[in-house]
Amino acid sequence: MPPKDQPMRVALVNDSRMALMALRHVIERSERYCVAWVAENGAQAVVRCTESLPDILLMDLNMPVMDGVEATRRIMAATPCAIVVVTESVEDKATQAFAAMGAGALDALNTPVLGMGGDTEGQDVLLAKLDTVARLVSANRRMVPETAPAAAATPRPPRRSEERLIAIGASTGGPAALRTLLSGLPAELPASIVVVQHVDEQFARSFANWLNEEVCLPVRLARTGDFPKAGEVLVAGKEDHLVLQRDQRLGYTPEPADYAYRPSVNAFFDSVAAHWGGHAVGVLLTGMGRDGATGLAALRRRGWTTIAQDRDTSAIYGMPRAAAELDAASRILPLDEIAPALIEAMETTTMDKAGQETG
């Protein structure tokens, strides 16, 4: 969170006077943030970012001249900054919101509504999101390297089962990357898939529904008590961390409470490394910050295949880069090569199992 004497600069991009009034009301009453500038459409925002780059940009979707999706794409290509989609109804505009997130927006939430008495509905949600993004921005600027033990030093413990799990973590640019990856996997994939995508809890169900319509594998939110099931994709659905428990069931926990990333990829990867009794593959996709890197290293120390998306195909090369710096990824691949690598890994596991049975 920014110091009180140095408020973070927030730019507003919206063509609605009422929306701008509500956003200004929330930001100007906060001691942590101030309005950097206002743009009425995406084209203006692209120009303003070249003139005065804000710390955080709140982007609407439907605007004249240039919409929020195209503006996000152009800003992230020329002058990258932390963009959050703020629109009238995220649920009604889910396809556009996911397109913006695929272009580099961090998250999406509904526009606050200014009430008659001066209260603003949605104010607490917006401020909480700004606080989370502020922590990510600050951490990204510091870029303090994490440390992890040598990834190949620890042998894999004996397996307790032959169940197979693909654990995937993603953040900025993740929705589009996940659609591409999951679309490349067959419906009869002999592995369960669990996804942790940095997304607001109120948006998680729409995200899972959108993915379910885009890929052949069934996709739904992970519920407390779920067992990962072959051929099914489970998506983290709360701001509490999704974790695998000792009994192989999924659950949610608020701890660690001090993690800026919620839900945290590290928390999930670490729990898989600690408790999964079969074979697993870890995948870390595009995203701002360093979440998932040390968790991917923990998976690699189990002797499992770990994959990080490469620089050229990442919307933001933050999380995969952190994994590469830690030597946490046994393979660094372009996005379109990750699905074939996962299929190969599952086939290799099947052949290993057949060899053990006939040997």
Per the DSSP assignment, residues forming a β-bridge with 113 are 121
Q: Among 248, 238, 239, which residue's Cα sits nearest to residue 271?
A: 248
Give the domain CATH number at 75. 3.40.50.2300
| Structure token pair of residue 141 | 């600027």
Are residues 188 and 59 located together in one domain of the fold?
no
Are residues 112 and 170 located together in one domain of the fold?
no
156 in a structural domain: no
pLDDT value at residue 1: 46
pLDDT tens digits along 231-243: 999 999 998 999 9
For residues 357 and 124, the model is more confident at 124
pTM of the complete model: 0.84
Domain count, the chain: 2
Are residues 119 and 171 located together in one domain of the fold?
no
From 112, 142, 172, the end of a domain falls on 142
pLDDT value at residue 34: 96
CA distances from 66 to 59, 63, 101, 288 (A): 12, 6, 16, 25
Q: Which of 198-202, 204-208, 281-285 has the lowest mean pLDDT?
A: 198-202
Distance CA 29, CA 278 (A): 52
Give the domain CATH number at 216. 3.40.50.180
Distance CA 52, CA 221 (A): 39
The stretch 278-302 carries a mean pLDDT of 95
Q: How many CA atoms lie within 13 A of 96 on its CB side?
A: 22
Q: Which of 3-12, 57-66, 100-109, 266-275 has the lowest mean pLDDT?
A: 3-12
Alpha-helical runs (H) found in 79-200: 94-103, 123-142, 174-183
Amino acid at residue number 14:
N
24 in a structural domain: yes
1 in a structural domain: no
Per the DSSP assignment, residues forming a β-bridge with 7 are none
Are residues 253 and 314 located together in one domain of the fold?
yes
The distance in angstroms from the start CA to the end CA of the chain is: 58
Band the pLDDT of 150: cuts 50, 70, 90: very low
Annotated catalytic residues are 171, 198, 291
352 in a structural domain: yes
Classify residue 267 as exposed, middle or buried by CB count within 10 Å of its CB (0-12, 13-18, 19+): buried
Distance CA 45, CA 310 (A): 29
Band the pLDDT of 41: cuts 50, 70, 90: very high
155 in a structural domain: no
Are residues 282 and 135 located together in one domain of the fold?
no
Are residues 201 and 137 located together in one domain of the fold?
no
pLDDT, mean over the chain: 88
129 in a structural domain: yes
Q: Among 345, 319, 329, which residue's Cα sits nearest to residue 297?
A: 329
Are residues 201 and 233 located together in one domain of the fold?
yes
Distance CA 78, CA 96 (A): 21
147 in a structural domain: no
Range of the domain at 252: 164-358
From 111, 142, 173, the end of a domain falls on 142
Say yes or no to pLDDT of 263 above 60. Answer: yes
For residues 314 and 355, the model is more confident at 314
Are residues 199 and 303 located together in one domain of the fold?
yes
Distance CA 169, CA 319 (A): 9
Are residues 175 and 290 located together in one domain of the fold?
yes
Say yes or no to pLDDT of 230 above 60. Answer: yes
Amino acid at residue number 3:
P
Q: Which of 32-46, 120-134, 178-192, 344-358 has the lowest mean pLDDT?
A: 344-358
pLDDT value at residue 120: 67
Are residues 83 and 196 located together in one domain of the fold?
no
Distance CA 242, CA 259 (A): 13
Distance CA 100, CA 90 (A): 12
Are residues 132 and 184 located together in one domain of the fold?
no
pLDDT tens digits along 156-197: 444 446 789 999 999 989 999 999 999 999 999 999 999 999
Phi, psi torsion values for 195, nearest 5 degrees: -115, 130
pLDDT value at residue 117: 53
Pairing relation of β-strands 120-121 and 113-114?
A: antiparallel
SS3 assignment for 78-101: HCCCEEEEEECCCCCCHHHHHHHH
From 107, 142, 177, the end of a domain falls on 142
The residue behind tokens 């939430």 is: 109
Distance CA 251, CA 10 (A): 35
3-state secondary structure of 144: coil
157 in a structural domain: no
pLDDT value at residue 138: 77
Band the pLDDT of 339: cuts 50, 70, 90: very high
The stretch 273-288 carries a mean pLDDT of 95
| Structure token pair of residue 67 | 């919409």
Say yes or no to pLDDT of 253 above 90. Answer: yes
Are residues 250 and 283 located together in one domain of the fold?
yes
